Every structure is written in C-alpha cells, then in structure tokens.
Amino acid sequence: MDAEKENGAHCLILPHPTQGHINPILQFAKRLTHKRIKITLALTKFTLKTTTGFSGGSISTRSISDGFDEGGRAHANSSEEYQARFQQVGRETLAELLQDLAGSGRPVDCVVYDPFIPWVLDVAKGFGLLAAAFFTQSCAVDSIYYQAYTGELKLPLSGGEVVVPGLPPMKPEEMPSFIHDHGSYPGTFQMLLNQFRNVDKADWILINTFDKLEQEVLEWMSRFWRVKAIGPTIPSMYLDKRLQDDKEYGLNMFNPMTNTCMNWLDNQEPKSVIYASFGSLAQLTARQTKELAYALTTSNKPFLWVVRSTEESKLPEDFSKSRKGLVVTWAPQLEVLSHMAVGCFVTHCGWNSTLEGLSLGVPLVAMPQWTDQSTNAKLVTDVWGVGVRARADCNGIVSREEIVSCVKSVMESEDGKRIGSNAVKWKGIAREALDLGGSSDKNIEEFVTEIMLKRYPL
C-alpha cells in the first residue's frame, strides 16, 4: 500500500477544446503533478492532431471524440450543432476512456472538467468518481451568468445600474455582451448558462482567480458552493518559481514567432514598447483594424502587434510601408509581457490575457470586444486600477485618437505612474497567492489532500 500511495491519486483533466480553456486547466494540472497526483489530459482527437510543442512531462494525453475528428468545431454548421454532437459522441468516448484506464490498472479518482461541457460531470458521477468544475473565466463573470441562470438577474436588462452580489454597480454595457445584448449568439449564451445546470453535483468549484483579487464575490459564491480559487494559472517560472521546469504553457494551437519577437524586443528601450494582442478568438472589423494600425504608427513608439494569419487581410494596404514596429501572426505572450522593453499591453481583456498582464505587472489599455471582456475591463480600470479603457464611439469603433490618448495616459502621464504602481502591487499579490503557504497554494493542497483521503482512507 505504501508503494502504491507514493504514486498518488489519478485525475483526468478534460478542458473545452479551445486554446484559452486548455492553457489554464493544464497549468493547474502541472501544480497537481508537483504534489504527486497522476494526471491524464483528455483532448478531442482533432485538438490532439493540431496542437504543437506539448511538453507535459509526466502528464499523459488521451483522446475523446467531439464527433468532428477531421475538422473540429469549424466543421459544425452552428454552435448548437457542435454542442449537441459533442455531448452525444463525447459521453460515449469518455465512458470508454474511463473504462480503459480502470482496466489498465490506473483507475481515475477525480475528473476535473470545464463546465462549458457539463455532461462530463454526469459521466463522472455515473462512474462514482469525484468531480471538480474548473471555471476559466473570472469569478465576477461566473457569478453574473449564475444570476442569469437562476433568474435573479432579469433579462433583457431594463437600463440603469445593474447590481450583482459581491460586485460594484455596473452599467449595462459593462456586463458580458451576451447579457447586455440579450438575444445575440443564443447558442453560445445557452452554453454559458448550462455551466450551472448540474454544478451542484460537483464536489468542488475551482476558479482561475485568487482570493485578494476577487474577495467579495468569492465570499458570496462560497455561501452555496465549495469554491476554491486556485489561480492565477501562469507558468511557475513567471511567479513563484517553485516548478523549475514550468516555463511555458506547453501546448500550442498556434505557432509563436518566438525568436523574431524576442530578438526585436532586445533592441528596444526599457518600457518603450506597445504590445497589442487580441487573443486566439477575437476578430476586429476591418475598420477597427485600420484605426488600431494608424494609432500604432502615429504613437511615435515602437510596437509589437499580433495579427493572426486569418486577420492579416484586414490590414491597410499602405501599413507595411509606414509601420515602426513588428507585426507577427502569434507571439509567446508570457515572454513578451515579462520583457523589460514592454511598457503597456493593448488587450481585448480576455481573462487569460488580463491575468497574464496583471501577474506580470504590465499596465493595460482595455479594448474589449465581446463576451466577458467588458466586465473584465471594468475590473481592470475601476476596481484594480491597472489600466484605462479605450472607449468606442457611437458606431462601436475605438478611434485612432482614442487609442493614442490611452497609450499616452498609461505610458507618459502622472495617472500612468499610479497605474504602473498598482500593476507592480498586483504582480506581488499574484505571486504570493501561489507561493508556498499562499491562498491558492493552500487551496490546491486541500484539494489534493481530499482526493488522497478518498483513495486511501485513514
């Protein structure tokens, strides 16, 4: 028994098959392996085929099917079709995987799953397993969607300030886009609400945040769920440095132009560079792309701009002749943000990018596009004080003048000094959360202890 116990318990980790959901749950898995939990990462067959550079160490990978093995969700006709097919085929192939792992002598003790795919919890409980829902968005956004799910938040919004427990009063446009623009993308909105349809059966609710960052809303949510803040899920070498081999996420659905980016940054002055990136999913309109392009070129500052290959056609025709910076199709964002040359981060405020900027002490210029990003931008500017919001005009476009003004405010003004000081403060608090004895470290340790006690009762 002692030799067996040395191997630890076994967790199956199952993320939603998108880059922004895989990265945080994979980082959490690395923390578990550091505490001697065996990890199997289950990805869809298409995701496994299309990812590069996975270096999970002792983490093994297995596959399930979403019913679109050749083309992934892009081959589905709609969000609704993809979700329905994934549920049908995913249930069957996940059950087969759990049976196979049990038959191989390493049965699963706990399933950690993304509640974007809530049927995973039903399968896990059908096998009598422990299960943890891993929420990849902020606790604030999770609580807003939960209020919409229960009907406490009445939709459509009637105007005026919106009050949600644990959060400051917000304008309707500061709510997630699916709440503010009720009726848009109904399939995706239903998926977000469905996160909560069976979550009461989960043994834990894990959230990619940390206690001091979202203290009030975490306390509110803890009244009815077993909530554990376990973030920020940033590779250890950028924070507490306790996992010496944890220098990158380790699984890429895009190929970062690492050498190109870092060599260019090495030739720039400290805190002089504007870094602009809108993540793996956000799509700027051609007009917004043009405004951002001219803002960057007229800022009189060097810039590094990530424009995915699928978005390059939106760049102005004369842009390549006038630019003073570097445009790449994908960047190693953590390395970029931690580089001494970077002075501000123009971001869509996706939760992963927000946490990365905050954890690495980089001031933000918030240009939210849709989904949770407006709410994250509200927190960035008005609660944590680590950035400014670039406001759109009546046509929904953030003008070049507005972008330049925001960049100068962050990088040159007295207010920018305050923002920079706040960014450094939150960087320290983020590191403390994951360091030995920090709030997130304790929560992860308690999670591990409970799994071990289930497997090896006293």
Domains and CATH numbers, the chain: 2-250+435-455 (3.40.50.2000), 258-430 (3.40.50.2000)
Structure pTM?
A: 0.95
Q: How far apart are CA 45 and CA 90, in angstroms?
A: 11
pLDDT tens for the chain, residues 1 to 458: 344 445 679 999 999 999 899 999 999 999 999 999 999 999 999 999 888 667 667 899 999 999 999 988 888 999 899 999 999 999 999 999 999 999 998 999 999 999 999 999 999 999 999 999 999 999 999 999 999 999 999 999 987 899 999 999 999 999 999 999 998 889 999 999 999 999 999 999 999 999 999 999 999 999 999 999 999 999 999 999 999 989 998 887 788 999 999 999 999 999 999 999 998 888 899 999 999 999 999 999 999 999 999 999 999 988 876 678 999 999 999 999 999 999 999 999 999 999 999 999 999 999 999 999 999 999 999 999 999 999 999 999 999 999 999 999 999 999 999 999 999 999 999 999 999 999 999 999 999 999 998 877 76
Six-digit token string for 51:
């990812």
Q: How high is the pLDDT of residue 403?
A: 98
Report CA 144 to chain centroid distance, whole Å: 17
* One-letter amino acid of 69: D
Q: How high is the pLDDT of residue 2?
A: 42
Q: How high is the pLDDT of residue 214?
A: 98
Q: What are phi and psi of 126, to 5 degrees?
A: -65, -25
* One-letter amino acid of 324: K
Q: How far apart are CA 134 and CA 114, in angstroms?
A: 5
Closest CA to 147 of 119, 179, 118, 108: 179
286 HSE (CA, 13 A, CB side): 4
Q: How far apart are CA 177 and CA 44, in angstroms?
A: 28
List the 387-389 sheet strands across, edge first: 326-328, 303-306, 273-277, 342-347, 364-366, 387-389
Q: How high is the pLDDT of residue 324?
A: 87
Report CA 95 to chain centroid distance, whole Å: 27
Three-state DSSP class for residue 211:
coil
Q: How far apart are CA 89 and CA 67, in angstroms?
A: 6
Polymer length in residues for the chain: 458
Closest CA to 326 of 301, 348, 347, 344: 301
The secondary element (H helix, E strand) that includes residue 388 is: strand 387-389
Q: How far apart are CA 159 and CA 169, in angstroms?
A: 12
Q: How high is the pLDDT of residue 5?
A: 47
Q: What are phi and psi of 279, to 5 degrees?
A: 75, -165
Positions marked catalytic: 21, 114
* One-letter amino acid of 203: D
Q: How far apart are CA 102 and CA 107, in angstroms?
A: 4
